[in-house]
A and B are shown apart, each in its own frame.
Chain A
Amino acid sequence: MSFIELKSVVKRYGTNQVLRNVDLTVEKGEIIAVIGRSGSGKSTMLRCINGLEPVQGGEVWVDGVAVHDASADMRALRARVGIVFQSFNLFPHLTVERNITLGPMIVKGMPGEQAAALARDVLRKVGLEEKLKSYADQLSGGQQQRVAIARSLAMAPHLMLFDEITSALDPELVGEVLLVLEGMAREGMTMLLVTHEMSFARRVAHRVIFMHQGKVWEQGPAKDFFESPRTDELKNFLRAVLH
């Protein structure tokens, strides 16, 4: 079985069907970029993978866990699957250090000192070691997002999900966040990124997925995908975003 397997996944909000039989497989170590118009279901698909959204049909398998099953051990799963959000979602009442140590200490029962050392480690990876004692509102958007990535990394995830993590950033801050992602890519992390950064997707992703009307419409290796799109929908989309 593949590392991630989505089989005919259906997601509805009321009568609004957001995912219509989505099929997707991801192998360990793969870096997948997910693109598509807003409302195409790409963020929803990501959120179904770590169970933030329950699915109404189909199967979601992640690292051997049946996420679609209500009795699945979601706590164990979430400790292994990190997600970073568009709006950072740092805990504003806690220091950067505590933001990072909270998960390892509470979910994994890690002793305080070890967690503090870990916090320094992951902050070094995102280049913010000196912000250990800062609060979120003292950081720029790019720095907050890098702390959010560090917070996820502290859980030692097997898989990282990124939900449009540069979309809320000022253009000049996007680069520093993407740099962190490239570092993680080099270390072999399995990553799924919903993104609007086409050049980044092309450069870093192994495979690109185009979502349209709640389906995986087209997918392929990054180079072919951008140079020779097959469907009209993807051609139109690429024309619109690449102009």
Chain B
Amino acid sequence: MIREVAWQDVMYLVFAIRWTLLLTLLALSGGSLVGLLVAAGGASGSLVLRNLARAYVGLVQGIPLLAWLFIFYFGLSIVGFNVPPWVAATVGFSIYAGAFLGEIWRGALISIPRTQWEAGLAIGLTYLEQLRHVIIPQAVRVAIPPTVGFIVQLIKNTSLASVIGFVELTREGQLTTAATFQPFTVYLLVAALYFALCYPLTRYSRTLERKRRVVH
């Protein structure tokens, strides 16, 4: 049955945002855990850890996100694990986010000059104390703008989860289109909602970037 786009459809779309945001948050949490390991390994003194981190980043960034989602959704069910879409999406996105966040944070860590480590060492700080009081506070400042920038990418990329049946904003748009046959109106609305989520973050990231030039 074909019907007009009603007020109720609009509300469905608006409420679907929460699944987009939830998936973003889950991916961000999982991705942060992975990313911390990748950054720590990638910036460490150990050649083995550095190579492991590099291999991970290379592998993940060399395969499309969509392929990762298919691997976890269809691939795991073939070998006998029946994975619900949200689990497959969370794992897939975490792996993906972990590689990118790991690279961003590794870059931030190694951007702090060696002389800062030395200055910490010279007053008798241990390795962990140097990290905590000297290196990480400075690295965080460097990392925040690109991290926020990546979150914007992540929000938009969660739309890919629609292909494995995870109902978020884009999937909700597909369902609404199927009922109303008004793709232009519906996807314009979907686009506007993504924009409303992402644009403030993009602006915020710019502001942070400007602020960073004036340290402290």
Contact = CB atoms under 8 A, between A and B. Distances in A.
A75 interface: yes
A137 B212 CA distance: 13
A90 interface: yes
Nearest to A98: B133
Contacts of B129: 106
B137 to A, nearest CB: 5
Given A102-B133, A106-B133, A137-B215, A90 B119 contact: yes
A76 B122 CA distance: 11
B121 A52 contact: yes
Given A85-B115, A93-B138, A78 B122 contact: yes
Contacts of B61: none
A85 B121 CA distance: 12
Contacts of B51: none
Given A85-B118, A102-B133, A106-B133, A92 B125 contact: no
Contacts of B133: 91, 102, 106
B116 interface: yes
A93 B123 contact: no
A158 interface: no
A91 B138 CA distance: 9
Interface string A61-101: 00000000000000110110011010101111100000000
B215 to A, nearest CB: 5
Interface residues of B, number: 19
B124 interface: yes
Interface residues of A, number: 24
Nearest to A136: B215
Contacts of B207: none
Contacts of A166: none
Given A91-B134, A92-B138, A50 B122 contact: yes
A3 interface: no
B124 A107 contact: yes
A155 interface: yes
Contacts of B125: 102-103, 106-107
B50 interface: no
B216 A107 contact: no
Nearest to B115: A89
Given A76-B124, A93-B216, A106-B125, 16 more contacts: A75-B124, A78-B121, A79-B124, A83-B122, A85-B115, A91-B116, A91-B120, A91-B133, A91-B134, A92-B215, A102-B123, A103-B125, A107-B124, A137-B216, A151-B123, A152-B123
Interface of B: 115-116, 118-126, 129, 133-134, 137-138, 141, 215-216
5 contacts: A78-B123, A78-B124, A102-B123, A106-B129, A152-B122
| CB-CB nearest 7 A-B residue pairs | A103-B123, A89-B119, A107-B124, A78-B124, A79-B124, A89-B115, A83-B122
